[in-house]
Each structure stands twice: as C-alpha cells, then as structure tokens.
Amino acid sequence: MIRRMPWWLAGILMALLVLFTFSVFGANRPFGASTYVPYFAGILFDLSPEKYPYLKEVHFAGAWEGVMLLGALTGGFLTSVFITKSFRLSIMPTGWKKYKNTSVISRLVWSFVSGFFLIIGARLAGGCTSGHFLSGMAQTAISSMIFGGVVLLSLIITGKIFYKSEANDV
Amino acid sequence: MFERILNMFTTVSNEAHGSVFVVFMIGLVFGVLIQYSRVDKFEKIAGFAMLRDTVVPKMLFLAIGLASIGLYFMVEAGYASYHPKPIILGGLIIGGTIFGISMAILGKCPGTGPVSIAEGRIDVLVGAIGGIFGGLVFTLYYDFFKSIMGESLGKTTLVSYFNGHENLSVFVFGIILIIVSIVIPLRQEFDEADLQQLKES
C-alpha cells in the first residue's frame, strides 16, 4: 500500500493551516514561501541591506519565511523517513525518465535553469503558489487570480510542449 | 554569516507574527502535509502540467475554497485581517508566465521544493541552488525588475465588488472552488517506488 494522505484530507488540513497562520492566535499574516530565497541569497553572498533596497524590503518577510522553511525541511524529513518511508537519495525523477530523457546532465541543467527562473518569476509577481494561490486566492485578491490564471495557462502549455505526449515505458 | 542567521531568529521573535516556535511549527506542519499527501513529487506537479495527474489542483482548490470562507468569517469576527497583494500587471503577467514554465520543468514550486530536498532529491537541490542565484540576480538588479513590474493598481479583492453582499459572494466563491475540486476527475501518475509499493499490497 502506498503511504499517502488522501487529497481531500490534505486539502482540509492545509486550509486549517492557512487559517491558523492568518489568525491572531497564529502569525497574523498570510502564508508564503518564496521570499526566503532572496533573503538567504543576501545572507550567503553577504550583501548589505543598506546597499540593496530589495533586501531591506524583504527583511521581515524573509526572516519569517526562513524560520518557516526550517520547519518545513524538518517536517518533510521526518515524514519521509518515518511515515511515507520515501526518503532516498535520487537524482532522476521517474516522470522525467518517462516523459523527457534519461540524461542526468540534462535533468540537472534544466533543474538549475528552471530553479533560477522560478524565483525570478515569483519575485516579479510578488508571490508564489503559497503566497498567491493559497493565501491570496483565499482572500479573493484580484492580483492572485490574475497570477493564478497566467500560471495555470503557462504551466499547461509548457507541459504540452516540453514533454513527450506519447511515453515509452521506462 | 553566522551572525546574520542568528539575526533571522531575533527578527522573528521581535515581530508580532508568532514566536519562533509557532512559525517553526507552521512550517513543520506544512512540511508534513506536503510530504504525506505526496504533492511535492515531480510526477504530481509536472504530471499536472501534462494533465496526467490531478491531485495538486484538487487539493489546492479544496484548500482555497475552504480557507476563503473560513477566513472571511474570521476577519468579520476580528480574529484575522486581509493582506492582499497589489495588482502589478507587468509583474503578475510576466512573472506568472515565467513561474508557470519553470514550475512545469522543475516539477516543484518554492514551497514544495524544500520538502522534496528533505526526502533526498538531489536534482531539486540543484534547482534550489539555481533559485538562490535567481534571488541574487533579482536583488542586484532590482531597479531593472521594478521597471518591468509596473505601478500598483491597488489591493482590490473580489468581495469588495459586492458591496452589501460580501457574505453571500465569498460563500459562492468558496463553494464554487470546493465543487471544482470535487468534479476534477482524479488522475494519478506514479513513480517507480510507488508502483513497487502498489505491487506489494
């Protein structure tokens, strides 16, 4: 049996987590997950917030999401080791082998490039799947609905173009 | 660098947005939910881009639908407040397009990526290193990116258009999303390890 929580239970619990984060009992702010990246970049490359206005802007949100991220890493690690038992070192997702190619170099180069642009895109839009989809759309924010529509469209068009439509068995 | 990392915890504890422990626990529960529901997998997110797996949109729409109704009533009761993001058309459209393309190729987003790394995915770690450089470039050339993003057209919400019928409109919005989450047909894409587990059972 695959150890997995059904989508509806995960959806309900995720809604409760978002509500707790918003509430005055929790964090009294929206849930988000992409601001920590420039914040960490600032720390790793030792950039001064005095010199770079963007670092000043994300000072608080970046720190909050940085701590949240450490929790997410811990939660993900514990669950993958003890509950889903899916922890293993791997480089190539099965789906990539099946629908793209079997080259490790290709996967790693594409990972790096798409990771780079993922953050550029999220920071341009002012949020990501967590900040805009989960928190933003729950507030019925128009900005998040625009983002949601654009992302769904470009995601599905890319899925159609980038991957093979007819896959061979692995 | 060490000092700045410590500074991160001090910043959080000095803010009125939850103690370091609460914020850490929010992240921990998030990590558990994402891992346990397995939506951090390449097959789930890239699979959704290929329309071969629908677990991600089903879960996402259900969570948003429920949260929108719950949040509205929490705001009304004074237990929470709205913090919508501004409408910056250039940023949303160009950023959203770039984000969608990258998400389909990486098979992760900024929230699910770290959870994937925590279960040992090296390709995602490489993606995260790419992301750090993305964050660096964005910080260094913020003036340029700001010119693409454009002016803010305000922080409008959908319910604010329905003056006097906010209760009803947010209820309808939430119910529609919940129904959408239920009617999207369940399609699943498995990876090798899953299929092995399936055979064993």
What tokens does A84 get? 């889903």
C-alpha B106/C-alpha B49 separation (Å) is: 11
Nearest by CB to B31, which of A42, A71, A134?
A71
A102/chain B closest Cα distance in angstroms: 13
Domain assignment present for residue B196? The answer is no
C-alpha B44/C-alpha B77 separation (Å) is: 37
> Is B148 in the same domain as B174?
no
Model confidence at B2, in pLDDT bands (50, 70, 90)?
confident
* Cβ–Cβ below 8 Å for B181 and A11: yes
Q: Is ipTM over 0.85?
A: yes
Chain centroid to CA B50: 19
Residues 98-117 of B with CB under 8 A from A: 98-117
pLDDT tens figures, A115-142: 999 999 999 999 988 899 999 999 999 9
* Cβ–Cβ below 8 Å for A89 and B66: no
C-alpha B125/C-alpha B114 separation (Å) is: 8
* Cβ–Cβ below 8 Å for A64 and B137: no
**Domain end (from B156, B174, B196):** B156
Provide the residue range defining the domain that includes B139: 85-156
pLDDT tens figures, A62-79: 999 999 999 999 999 999
Q: Which residues of A touch B14 (CB under 8 A)?
A: none
pLDDT tens figures, B148-178: 999 889 899 998 888 888 899 999 999 999 9
Domain assignment present for residue B8? The answer is no
> Is B142 in the same domain as B126?
yes
Domain count, chain B: 2
Average pLDDT, chain B: 94
Domain assignment present for residue B9? The answer is no
Domain assignment present for residue B99? The answer is yes
pLDDT above 60: residue A168 = no
* Cβ–Cβ below 8 Å for A155 and B100: yes
Nearest by CB to B26, which of A44, A71, A170?
A71
Percent of chain A with pLDDT over 70: 97
* Helix intervals (H) in B77-158: 89-106, 112-118, 122-140, 142-149
* Helix pair angle (B89-106, B42-49), 10° resolution: 120
C-alpha B36/C-alpha A153 separation (Å) is: 27
pLDDT tens figures, B85-126: 999 999 999 999 999 999 999 999 999 999 999 999 999 999
Rounded to the nearest 5 degrees, what angle is found at the Cα of A17, between the Cα atoms of B9 and B27? 30
C-alpha B81/C-alpha B74 separation (Å) is: 8
C-alpha B47/C-alpha B147 separation (Å) is: 34
* Cβ–Cβ below 8 Å for A150 and B18: no
B164/chain A closest Cα distance in angstroms: 16
Tally the residues of chain B.
201
Domain assignment present for residue B27? The answer is no
pLDDT above 50: residue A170 = no
> Is B90 in the same domain as B176?
no
Q: Which residues of A touch B67 (CB under 8 A)?
A: 14-15, 18-19, 134, 138
Domain assignment present for residue B1? The answer is no
pLDDT above 90: residue B200 = no
- Three-state DSSP class for residue A90: strand
pLDDT, residue B1, reads 83
Domain assignment present for residue B127? The answer is yes
> Is B78 in the same domain as B114?
no
> Is B138 in the same domain as B176?
no
> Is B128 in the same domain as B141?
yes
